[in-house]
Every structure is written in C-alpha cells, then in structure tokens.
Structure 1
Amino acid sequence: MDALQVITYTGVFVFAVTGVLKARTKRFDIFGAAVLAFVTAYGGGTIRDLLIGIRPVNWVNDNLAIFIVLASTIVTFFFKMNTNIIKKVIFLIDAFGIGLFTIVGIQVALRSGISSGYALVMGIITATFGGLLADVLCNKVPSILKPGELYATACLIGGSLYLLFLNYDFQSDVSMLIGILVIASIRIFAIRKKLQLPRI
C-alpha cells in the first residue's frame, strides 16, 4: 500500500465519521447515518472520477473502503457525545479531511493525465463535494457556500502549494503532509478569526 492509498483510506475514515456525526445532529437512525457517511466519504471522489472518465469509479469493488465506512459508522454510532462537542469534533475532523482529500484528488487527476490547473480543480471537488451533498441531504446550506468559511479557498491555497512543491521536485511525502497541514490550518484559522472573502 503506497502513501496515496494510505491518505485515501484515512480521508475516507475521517469523512465517514464526519457524515455520521452530522447524521447524529439530525437524529438519523443507523442506516441513515451509514448512507450519509458513504455520501460524505465518496461523493466528491465519485464526481471527480466521472468528470475525468475513470471507470469504474473509485469505490466500486473496493471492499476495504466499504468496510472502513461501515466500521466508522458503527464505532461513531456507539460513541456518544453532547451536541456542542460533536460540532467541534466535526469541524476539526472536517478541516483535516478536506486537506487529505484535496491532495488525493490532485494525485488521482495527475495520474490520469490531467493538467496541473484542472488537477487542482479536481482536488477541490474531491474535498468539498461529498460534504456539499451531505449538507443538502441534511437540509442545510452547504459549508462551501457560506461566508466566513474559506472552505474551498483553503483547498485552493494548500493544493496550489502542493503542486508548486511537485513542480520543483520537492520530496513527495513531505509535500503531501505540508499541503494537508496548510489546508487544515487555514480552515481552522479562518473560523477562529472569522475571516471571509468579500461579499457580492
């Protein structure tokens, strides 16, 4: 198992947990939580694969990935926390999750022969569209559209930095780690300092 697969499965677990925690705030049953976990973990990657023509999409025939989603659902379902703690945990997990999936999306796109600019777009889609679909299913305004979130912006900055490192042949594993940490840090800092892009 190479570094990209490790990051991919870590991201799947992180986003699946985020999905289950979101389901808990809406008082879903365990089946609904599993569906939301799957959508959160695989929604962005599925859209990416469809856009760049990967067949079958990433989760088809991947038994380990399905097991990770189910295991995260069961573990999180029995791990009880109060609502305020859940919200904080969702935020922290999601911050690192979008970092993980941005790098994964970029790597998958580059390996499929996509140019760097569009690979960055694919990374942002991979990181954000699963959460977007999950928020829609929960009847919430998606975080990517809310002011003061810097959700996709964090992915854009960290992903661009990662591509810059690749262009200068910086060590791959270190580049991935730096990209992930930059994305998570920007996301956390933006929320704590209430930073936001100019409004229309």
Structure 2
Amino acid sequence: MNLIEGILYTGIFVFAATGALKARTHQMDIFGAMVVAFATAYGGGTIRDLLIGVRPVNWVNDYLALGLVVSAVLIIFLLKTNLARFRRTLFFTDAIGLGMFTAGGIERSLAYGINEGYAVIMGVMSATFGGLIADMICGEVPNLLKKGELYATACAIGAVIYILLKKAGLEYNLGLFICVVIIVGIRIFSKRKRVHLPEI
C-alpha cells in the first residue's frame, strides 16, 4: 500500500465515523448509520471516478474499504458519550477527512491524466460531495452550502497550495501533509472565528 492509498483508506474510515456520528445525532438505527456512513465515505469518490472515467469506481470489489466503513460504524455504536461531545468529535473528524480526501482526490485525478486545474476541482468534490449526500439523507442543509463555514473553500485553498508545492518540486509526502494540515487548520479557524464568504 502506497501513501496515497493509505490517505484514502484513512479518509474512508474517518468519513464513515463522521457519517455514523451524524446518524446518531438523528437517532437512527444501526442500518441507517451504515447507509449514512457509506454515503459519507464513498459519495465524493464515486462521483469523482464517474466524472474522470474510472471503471469500476473506487470502492467496487474493495473489501478493505467496506470493512473500514463497517468497523467505523461498529466503533461508534459501541462508544457511549454525551451528545455535545459527539458534535465536537463530528466536526474534528469531518475536518480531518476533508483534508485527506482532497489530497487523495487530487492525486487520483492526476494519475488518470486529469490536468491540474480540474484535479483541484476533483479533489474538492472528493472531499465534500459525500458529506453533501449524507446531509441530504439526514434532511439537513449541507455544510457545503451553509453560510458562515469555509467548507469547500478550505479544500480549494489547500488543493491549490498542494498543486503549487508540487510544481515547485517539494517532496511528495511533505506536500501531502501540508495540504491536509492547511485544510484542517482553515476549517477549524473559520469555525471558531466565524470567518465566512460574503453573501451574493
């Protein structure tokens, strides 16, 4: 397993846990949690692969990825704590997942011949569209569209910086790490300081 696969698998687990936590806040049963976790973990990557022509899509025949989703749901099912702590955990796991999936989505797109500009878009979609689908299933306004939160914007900034660092010849692993840290940092900073884009 190479680094990018490790990042993607870690992202799958983190986003599946995020989906399971979201399902708990909506008092779903364990099957509902599986559905939301699956959508959160696979949604963005599935749309990305369909758009860039990858067949089969990333999760088909991948038992490790499926096992990570099931494991994340079972872990959340077994853990009991108060709702406020779950909400905080949900935010931080989501922020980490955003960073990992953005970097992973960019690298996967570049590997399939997508140019750098569209690889940035694919990275952002990989990171955000799974959460968008999960929020729609849960009947929430998607985080992607909420005022007052730099969500996709954080991914886009980190993605552009990653591409620039890559073009500058920065060491591969370090570039990936910086991309993830920047996205997580912007997401946390914008949430705490209420930084947001201007209204249209």
Cα distance between partner residues in 2 of 1:129 and 1:57: 15
For 1:1-200, what aligned pairs fall within 5 Å after superposition?
Answer: 1-200=1-200
- Report how far residue 80 of structure 1 moved: 1.1
Post-superposition CA distance 1:50-86 (Å, at most 9, x none): 0010000000000100000001111111101211111
TM-score normalized by structure 2? 0.99
Cα distance between partner residues in 1 of 2:81 and 2:34: 18
Report the number of matched residues.
Answer: 200
Cα distance between partner residues in 2 of 1:112 and 1:82: 44
- Report how far residue 46 of structure 1 moved: 0.1
| 2:173 aligned partner, one-letter code | D
SS of the residue corresponding to residue 170 of structure 2 reads coil
- Report how far residue 168 of structure 1 moved: 1.2
Uncovered stretches (5+) of structure 2, i.e. residues with no partner: none
Cα distance between partner residues in 2 of 1:71 and 1:154: 28
TM-score normalized by structure 1? 0.99
- Report how far residue 169 of structure 1 moved: 1.3
| 2:116 aligned partner, one-letter code | S
Uncovered stretches (5+) of structure 1, i.e. residues with no partner: none
| 2:101 aligned partner, one-letter code | F
- Report how far residue 151 of structure 1 moved: 0.2
- Report how far residue 110 of structure 1 moved: 0.2
Deviates more, 1:50-59 or 1:75-84: 75-84
Could you list the runs of 4 or more consecutive aligned residues of structure 1 that deviate by over 6 angstroms after TM superposition?
none
Identical columns (%): 52
| 1:72 aligned partner, one-letter code | A
